[in-house]
Chains A and B, each alone.
Chain A
């Protein structure tokens, strides 16, 4: 067995049909290939009837690198892209409910200001922060809040989009190399005309 430490994480985005059972098909495929879904975010896309997924998959390198191609085999998956080595930006969102008292409230508000977290709920003995950012930023805030007594943490999975290319040649050497590598796995091909529309 491959140990957990040999696992590699990949960020994959997919555009899928918004209908019952699609997530089960995707999850089933990941399960079959022994991939762990470390995080998952699903929501409506800009196109009606289609949802966009971002997920982080962990698994043995030879398997997890291949998952986008496998996902594209599913009839309900319009496209799947492994964007790990592409220039992309990603965010997570966390809601953190922390215990408060008269004495700690000011200090907590100060922390939220530094982290640019929003306070979205205040009660007698707790307040809830909303924080967006990378995983490390969210982890740091949670660490700092721990001494106050965290009551609940709710984190979304990662959501990711490819960056726009601002300048010609922005793809540096490294990016080019990884893209060629990814091209080895994600294949271009010609379609039967009209098939994806109607026959």
Chain B
């Protein structure tokens, strides 16, 4: 039998046994029994956030950057509901998080008690799994089970709701006993059956114009070396998805770009011109596919995914392989023919030169593209880049030349404005030595900027580059293109002075308005030992190109006519 502990102690002991060193959270009434014992566990570093959404996003950034499970604490009711955006973000992008929420006492559950929310009910669709614990003896096993579920298979967020009185009650914890997991319905695909591998290999060997569509799975399964080896052996150009960026070095000759709505035109065209798409750890997202009936009609498709439910969900495929991408690519590599495809490679190169998607239209004014290009140059493509969603995200994805694995953290699936501020804090805590740049829009930044206090409090030298155009830029773009130019509620006419804001938070603040000053400012920010905001005042209205409208196809491709 284990030692006698309170429920709160058991939570901490179990977290330590899961290798947790940092927890992001904000206390409240129902979770106080846990905070009450936290001081006994100095190995658990608690990072106090300013809003629970920040806790979830910071845990997410920590998880993506470190490959470990991120942990967030929140109290019942509003504390727990504030986590939801962060959980949904992690769910869409398959990021392992364990969120622990306080709940009102067992006797009060269901009575509309103060700060009561049915958070397990509310988070059902945005978690991989969740739990409401009702007995103190279940705390240990549930936490170990939750970590197992969060980190294995297709990772995702898991929420554990613990009533206040359960955390106060005495129980026992025994790691050896409580770590035994019994989950008959939970299976983790590893290698794939030979017949699936052989079918895929046959298609690859038969193909003349194959292309990889490499997704987040490459990063999650750390299949960087395998992807590179297979691409080189069979001479397969690599298109990455938005979340697959930094899964394949952008200075590699076989690297193409990212396709879809705002991807490089040549990446979309390479998919369209191919005779075989190998979707590796990607899910044929609608921002890539657009109109399903017109997507890459001349190509066969192989879908490799760890989640069997993704196969055939949107695009019908010719061969499917279910397994862990790292293992699967390892199974495929020895069986494919080593070939050269000079014509196909030349064709892809030709697409790149015919469609200069990364050319920056020069108006003389500073634009978001200049800032990202400057960042890429100064940091040599080696910084950790966090973004939210919108124009700043697309420019970052297009113009930053990622050369290091797993250095791109953005809210892809959910498209969460404000993800960029707290996720950078999580990433910096995971990688204290790394240079972390958060590229923000002025809209998203103001959704979560209270977390700057968290960065300052924890002495985290995160650099924030605000691409400030006083607009919800992507909204302006859509309204101009698809809503007859009727721009509504897209302009921020009273943005704060971000330099003074930085100073108010105790950070360094800088402002840049000229193209020529970009790189110097970035150098200066990099050299500063603490957190920095650089307010880049950019062109007010500028569209992101190329663009394929939602639900469209390659035929609807719009390129920048100024180029």
How many residues from A make CB contacts under 8 Å with B? Answer: 33
Residues in A with CB closer than 8 Å to B308 are 69, 72, 186-187, 189
Of the candidates A70, A184, A189, A195, the one having the most CB atoms from chain B within 10 angstroms of its own CB is: A189
Are A188 and B322 in contact (CB-based, < 8 A)? Answer: yes
Given contacts A21-B120, A66-B313, contact A75 B187 (CB under 8 A): no
> Which segment, of B190-198, B268-276, B457-465, faces chain A?
B190-198
Are B182 and A197 in contact (CB-based, < 8 A)? Answer: yes
Size bracket, chain B contacts: 35 or more
A68-90 Cβ-contact flags toward B at 8 Å (1 or 0): 01101111111100000000000
Given contacts A184-B320, A185-B311, A186-B308, contact A75 B183 (CB under 8 A): yes
Residues in B with CB closer than 8 Å to A197 are 182
Assess whether A134 is interfacial by the CB under 8 Å rule: no
Are A198 and B182 in contact (CB-based, < 8 A)? Answer: yes
Are B125 and A78 in contact (CB-based, < 8 A)? Answer: no
Assess whether B42 is interfacial by the CB under 8 Å rule: no
8 Å CB contacts to A: which residues of B165-196?
179-193, 196
Of the candidates B125, B179, B186, B320, the one having the most CB atoms from chain A within 10 angstroms of its own CB is: B186
Query: Roughly how many angstroms separate A150 CA and B206 CA in the complex, as a whole number?
Result: 66
Q: Which residue of B lies closest to A14 (CB)?
A: B185
Are B189 and A69 in contact (CB-based, < 8 A)? Answer: no
Assess whether A167 is interfacial by the CB under 8 Å rule: no
Are A196 and B187 in contact (CB-based, < 8 A)? Answer: yes
Are B189 and A78 in contact (CB-based, < 8 A)? Answer: no
For the complex formed, measure the closest distance between the CB of B415 and the CB atoms of chain A, giving whole angstroms: 18
A20-56 Cβ-contact flags toward B at 8 Å (1 or 0): 0100110010001000000000000000001000000
8 Å CB contacts to A: which residues of B107-139?
120-121, 124-125, 128-129, 132
Assess whether A192 is interfacial by the CB under 8 Å rule: yes
Residues in A with CB closer than 8 Å to B129 are 75
Are A191 and B185 in contact (CB-based, < 8 A)? Answer: no
Query: Roughly how many angstroms separate A25 CA and B128 CA in the complex, as a whole number?
Result: 11
Residues in B with CB closer than 8 Å to A185 are 311-312
Assess whether B527 is interfacial by the CB under 8 Å rule: no
Query: Roughly how many angstroms separate A139 CA and B320 CA in the complex, as a whole number?
Result: 43
8 Å CB contacts to A: which residues of B31-65?
none
Residues in B with CB closer than 8 Å to A28 are 124-125
Given contacts A75-B149, A184-B312, A189-B193, contact A199 B125 (CB under 8 A): no
Residues in A with CB closer than 8 Å to B511 are none
Are A77 and B187 in contact (CB-based, < 8 A)? Answer: no
Are B191 and A190 in contact (CB-based, < 8 A)? Answer: yes
Assess whether A58 is interfacial by the CB under 8 Å rule: no
Specify which of B179, B311, B312, B320 is in contact with A199 (CB 8 Å cutoff). B179
21 A-B residue pairings within 8 Å (CB atoms): A21-B120, A28-B125, A66-B309, A69-B309, A69-B312, A75-B129, A75-B183, A76-B185, A77-B185, A79-B185, A187-B308, A189-B190, A189-B193, A189-B308, A190-B191, A191-B187, A192-B188, A195-B181, A195-B183, A198-B181, A199-B181
For the complex of A and B, list the 6 residue pairs with the smallest distance between their C-beta atoms, beginning with the closest. A189-B322, A187-B308, A78-B185, A189-B189, A69-B309, A192-B188
B residues with a Cβ closer than 8 A to A are 120-121, 124-125, 128-129, 132, 148-149, 152, 179-193, 196, 307-309, 311-313, 320, 322-323
